[in-house]
Chain A
Amino acid sequence: MCSLSAANPFIPYPATVTGVLDLTPDIKLFTVELTDPEQRENFDYRPGQFAFVSAYGVGEGPYGIASLAERKTGLEFAVRRVGTVTRALHELEPGATLGIRGPYGNWFPMEDYRGKNILIIGGGIGMAPLRPVIHYVLDHRSDYSGLTIVNGARSPRELVFSDEYDLWAEPAQCKLELCVDRGDDEWQGRVALVPQVVSELRPSPDNTVAIICGPPIMIRFVLAGLKELGFSPAQIVTTLEQKMKCGIGKCARCNVGDKYVCKDGPVFTFEQILNFIEQF
């Protein structure tokens, strides 16, 4: 089976679900281990890369890997129930088998960001591909200057990774700003949109890299706000989501202009994106 997967890029590695955690009412965090120890060892990935997860009989889909390889937690995927494959994945319980192929795409060049202030801005499930970036910075904390995280969701119940906030925001480690579009009876935090929080926070563009992911509308307004604060497009990085079938630059579905998100991305700076002929 090992040689088959090596030869045919479309054949996934067999894998087992080892953990399922409800992050929000419609987002689950799956922990997955490749069955073959050698394949598990060789599956090396970087923050920002993605993989295809197969729910056999229903299909497969591309998901950003939400874990950091160095932490050896197993592969983690945050999956929102929105379509047929994600619905099937949500039915899976620990012990279930599935298929994984990848890792695909480029990654956030964390080494290049050394010594910089890291500003992470995520909305909803958009935090999933940013989580390994957060973990990486926390695990190499002295390599980086300030760490600011703005994390927003539609409602308090929809904030992802809430059980980790205490670990992220341990004193002096990081400044964590949470916000929701609509609060509820218990919510004591900010009720504001992510772009609004960013603009009020007034992060300095000096020696800062802003890493953002969220719905296109959020990205558009965050971008405008950062521009106003003096950020140049080269210091703003994002990861794009497009419809994909192959993940290896062949099926001709995920292109934005002449760039294929699966192999040229998914990580792009806004300097690159501004040169795209097409909108994403």
Chain B
Amino acid sequence: MTSVIVDNNLHIWLKELAEKYILIAPVTSDGVTLFKHVKAPEVGSIDLQFLNTAVSPKGYFFPLSETIFSIGVERGDVIAPMNADAEVVIFGIRPCDAAGIALIDRVFLAEPVDISYKGKRDRTILIGLACNTPSPECFCTSVGGGPANPMYLDIMLTHTPSGYIVQAITGKGKELTPVTMVEEKDVPSPPTPRIAAIPMEGVREIMRRNFDSPYWDRVADRCIHCNICSYVCPCCYCFDIRDYAGKDKIDRVRSWESCQSAGFTRIAGGHDPRPTKGARLRQRWYHKLLYYPTLFGDIKCTGCGRCVRSCPVNIDIREIIMDVQKLNV
């Protein structure tokens, strides 16, 4: 027997969630699906048929831009930012995006803990939605994930013709499960969708040996360093810190940044260890496929395919991985 919530009950549950929590869910408008704050869900206002959102929900933990603290101009006193304490439910997050957040956790929750990130992380519940129809660019199964991978979620939902299968994964998830709306039924899980596999064998070792290969410059030749790959990535977390001086206070602001920006590593005085597009693009792949795995064990890529979809010059990480294997020198 499986716990199932039928469509009508799901709608009631979503309304309840929106009353008790800040409900973040996929909303499609003008053909673009994004996670948005849904205050009063109507039937159809939350898109449950979406492939994946254009941007991952990492911004709910690590905002595009946030004031870390401010300094009063007159007294020089530290003003801590107003921290919202309302609990957040992210509904409909795909397993790959939950995995992306887990990859950022390893860095931001390591000592010394990034308290702004941790605060938001602790206040957020992740209700995932398994992928029955992956996108053509998806390759999660090649990088340790899967379309129905419940890891890193609090609750996992799987759509079937008879309703949504509900699996509580964590204690938090159990508490949140709407027991009165859930029915115990004999509902088979939908067939696991087929996702093309990218061969990953030996990639780390080959990359270690081919750092100085001319391949990296060649493939970066068409890169226009627009940074969209970092922007849409569910696990890119490079950031910048800047001061914005106002009349009464100075804000110290942390914002997303990309290792693809020209000057990302240029120090005052002009020295830049990564002055070329090739060196910067190489850094992106080496961080994902070699450095992070060396430090933490896992590949820093969830196979969501967003960078593949978004790149204006068709640079495709799957192609890079396959090309790397041919470099084998």
Contact = CB atoms under 8 A, between A and B. Distances in A.
Contacts of A58: 243, 245
Given A8-B116, A242-B265, A280 B273 contact: yes
B327 to A, nearest CB: 15
B78 A80 contact: no
Contact of A10 (B68, B107, B245): B68
A56 interface: yes
10 closest Cβ pairs, A-B complex = A83-B268, A57-B245, A258-B291, A9-B112, A82-B269, A82-B268, A252-B238, A57-B250, A10-B68, A243-B265
Nearest to A244: B267
B121 interface: no
Interface string A30-57: 0000000000000000000000001011
B268 A86 contact: yes
Nearest to A279: B273
Interface string B51-75: 0000000000000000011010000
Contacts of A7: 115
B133 interface: no
Given A97-B76, A252-B259, A252-B287, 13 more contacts: A8-B115, A56-B250, A59-B243, A60-B252, A82-B269, A83-B268, A84-B268, A241-B267, A248-B112, A253-B265, A254-B265, A277-B286, A278-B286
A249 B254 CA distance: 15
Given A242-B265, A277-B208, A56 B287 contact: no
Nearest to B111: A248
Interface residues on B, range: 35 or more
A11 interface: yes
A190 B238 CA distance: 46
Interface string B241-273: 111010000101010010100001111110101
Given A4-B80, A58-B243, A279-B273, A253 B107 contact: no
A245 B255 CA distance: 11
Nearest to A254: B265
Contact of A252 (B69, B237, B245, B290): B237
A242 B269 CA distance: 12
A61 B269 CA distance: 13
Contact of B238 (A60, A82, A251, A257): A251
A216 interface: yes
A54 B245 CA distance: 13
Interface in A248-267: 248-258
Contacts of A253: 238, 257, 259, 264-265
B7 to A, nearest CB: 42
A11 B108 CA distance: 16
A213 to B, nearest CB: 14
B69 A10 contact: yes
A14 B295 CA distance: 34
Interface residues of A, number: 46
A246 to B, nearest CB: 7
A54 B68 CA distance: 14
A162 B283 CA distance: 41
A243 B264 contact: yes
Nearest to B211: A277
A80 B268 CA distance: 10
Nearest to A251: B239
Interface in A120-173: none
Given A7-B115, A56-B250, A59-B243, A243 B211 contact: no
Contact of A83 (B240, B243, B269): B269
A59 B116 contact: no
15 contacts: A4-B69, A10-B69, A60-B243, A60-B252, A241-B271, A249-B107, A249-B110, A250-B114, A251-B239, A253-B238, A254-B265, A255-B287, A256-B273, A278-B273, A279-B273
Nearest to A263: B110
A245 B273 contact: no
A84 B267 CA distance: 11
Given A61-B268, A257-B291, A245 B239 contact: yes
Contacts of A258: 290-291, 294-295
A83 B270 CA distance: 9
Nearest to A55: B243
A218 interface: no
Nearest to B69: A11
Contacts of A82: 268-269
Interface in B21-80: 68-69, 71, 76-78, 80
A4 B287 contact: no
B38 to A, nearest CB: 31
A192 interface: no
B266 A243 contact: yes
B156 to A, nearest CB: 29
B111 to A, nearest CB: 9
